[in-house]
Structures are given as C-alpha cells and as structure tokens.
C-alpha cells in the first residue's frame, strides 16, 4: 500500500469534486486566515478523534503548512484503507485564490 503526493497546481482539478475531500490539517486559526477552496479543517491533533467524519469511498487530499504533517497523516490513514493523496510542499506551494472564514 502506498499513497501519492500531488503538486499544488494539480489540486485545482480536485476542488469541488463530489468524490474528493480536501482536508486542511493546520490549526483552526491558520485555516480561517486562508485555505484551499472547499477544504475542511481537521487539525492533525484531532484527526484520530474525528476520523469518523471521513468517508472510505472518497479520495482524501491532506495538506498542512509545509507538507510534513500531511505525509504523516496520509501514511497513518492509508494503513486503515483510506484512499489518500498528500499535497507536496503544503499550502506554501499553492498559488491559487484562498478562501477565508
């Protein structure tokens, strides 16, 4: 079993896809300051407790600030049977418009 990493310019094809969940693993404040469109916030520290919110049938794309945390999360959930991709380099590499809330 393995998971893929994707480049920042490739994430645009997944934004808004009904078969994909984009998950921001940063803290709530960082998420509110700007996140990839359609991403939901599940801080890495809460991922274990909120794992029931994730759907096995969907592709999960994780990202964090620089990419290290999302790699850890991807590795852990891939072992549980989830379909995972990790954003290489994290949100720092993303050049698209950010949503704020």
Give catalytic status of residue 9 as yes or no. no
84 C-beta neighbours (distance < 10 Å), count: 26
Q: Kindly give the confidence (pLDDT) of every residue in the chain, 101 residues in length, as a single tens digit, with 9 standing for 90 and above.
A: 567 999 999 999 999 999 999 999 999 999 999 999 999 999 999 999 998 889 889 999 999 999 999 999 999 999 899 999 999 999 999 999 999 98
Q: Per the residue annotation, which of 64, 69, 73, 77 is the catalytic one?
A: 64
Is residue 100 a part of any domain in this protein? no
Report pLDDT digits (tens) over 21-50. Answer: 999 999 999 999 999 999 999 999 999 999
Tell me which residue range forms the domain holding 89. 4-93
CATH code (residue 13): 3.40.250.10
Domain count, the chain: 1
Could you please report the per-residue DSSP string of 55-88? Answer: -TTSEEEEE-SSSHHHHHHHHHHHTTT-EEEEET
pTM listed for this prediction:
0.94
Q: Is residue 52 part of a domain?
A: yes
């Amino acid at each position: 079993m393995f998971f893929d990493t994707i480049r920042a310019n490739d994430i645009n094809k997944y934004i808004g896809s009904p078969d994909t969940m984009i998950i921001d693993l940063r803290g709530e404040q960082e998420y509110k300051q700007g996140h990839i469109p359609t991403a939901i916030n599940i801080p890495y520290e809460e991922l274990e407790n909120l794992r029931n919110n994730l759907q096995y049938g969907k592709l999960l794309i994780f990202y964090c600030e620089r990419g290290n945390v999302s790699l850890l999360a991807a590795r852990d959930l891939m072992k549980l049977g989830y379909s995972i991709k990790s954003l290489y380099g994290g949100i720092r590499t993303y050049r698209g418009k950010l949503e704020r809330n």
